[in-house]
Amino acid sequence: MMKKIMRTIAAAAIASMMAGHSAQAASVGVEAIDIDFSFEGMFGTFDRGQLQRGFLVYKEVCASCHAMSLLRYRNLGEPGGPEFTPEQVKAIAAQYEVQDGPNADGEMFDRPALPRDAFVSPFPNEQAARASNGGAYPLDLSLIAKARQGWTGNLATAYTTALWKGTGGPEYIYSVLVGYADAPNGEEREGLHYNKYFPGHWIAMPSPMTEDGVEYGDGTKATVDQQARDVAAFLMWAAEPKMEERKSLGFKVLIYLFILSVLMYLTKKMIWSRVEH
Residue at 97 is within a domain:
no
147 & 180 share domain:
yes
Residue at 84 is within a domain:
no
Q: What is the pLDDT of residue 159?
A: 64
> How is residue 59 annotated by DSSP?
I
Q: What is the pLDDT of residue 13?
A: 41
Task: Judge contact between 218 and 51, C-beta under 8 A.
Answer: no
For residue 212, count other CB atoms closer than 10 A to its CB: 11
Mean pLDDT calculated for residue range 248-270? 90
Q: Which domain holds residue 272?
A: 242-277
Compare 266 and 72 and report the one with higher pLDDT. Answer: 72
158 & 248 share domain:
no
Q: How confident is the model at residue 187 (pLDDT cuts 50, 70, 90)?
A: very high
For residue 176, count other CB atoms closer than 10 A to its CB: 24
Rounded to the nearest integer, the mean pLDDT of the chain is 87
**CATH code for position 50:** 1.10.760.10
Mean pLDDT calculated for residue range 179-200? 94
144 & 231 share domain:
yes
Residue at 39 is within a domain:
yes
Give the number of C-alpha atoms closer than 13 A to the C-alpha of residue 82, restricted to the C-beta side.
28
Q: What is the pLDDT of residue 166?
A: 80
- Digit-coded pLDDT (tens) for 93-110: 999 999 998 988 898 999
Q: How confident is the model at residue 155 (pLDDT cuts 50, 70, 90)?
A: low
Rounded (10°) CA dihedral 263, 268, 274, 277: -150
Q: What is the pLDDT of residue 158?
A: 60
Burial 244-273 (b: 16+ CB within 10 A, else e): beebeeeeeeeeeeeeeeeeeeeeeeeeee
Mean pLDDT calculated for residue range 12-37? 58
227 & 246 share domain:
no
Residue at 87 is within a domain:
no
H helix runs in 29-69, sequence order = 48-57
Sequence-ordered list of residues with C-beta below 8 angstroms from that of 77, at least 6 positions apart, any chain: 83, 84, 85, 86, 88, 89, 115
164 & 252 share domain:
no
> Between the CA of residue 176 and those of 52, 197, 199, 200, 228, what are the distances in Å?
21, 5, 10, 12, 9
Residue at 106 is within a domain:
no
Of 231, 204, 227, 207, the residue nearest 54 (C-alpha): 231
255 & 201 share domain:
no
234 & 261 share domain:
no
Q: What is the pLDDT of residue 277?
A: 62
Sequence-ordered list of residues with C-beta below 8 angstroms from that of 178, at least 6 positions apart, any chain: 33, 224, 225, 228
268 & 151 share domain:
no
138 & 45 share domain:
yes
Q: Which pTM was predicted? A: 0.82
Number of structural domains in the chain? 2
Q: Say if residue 31's pLDDT is above 60.
A: yes
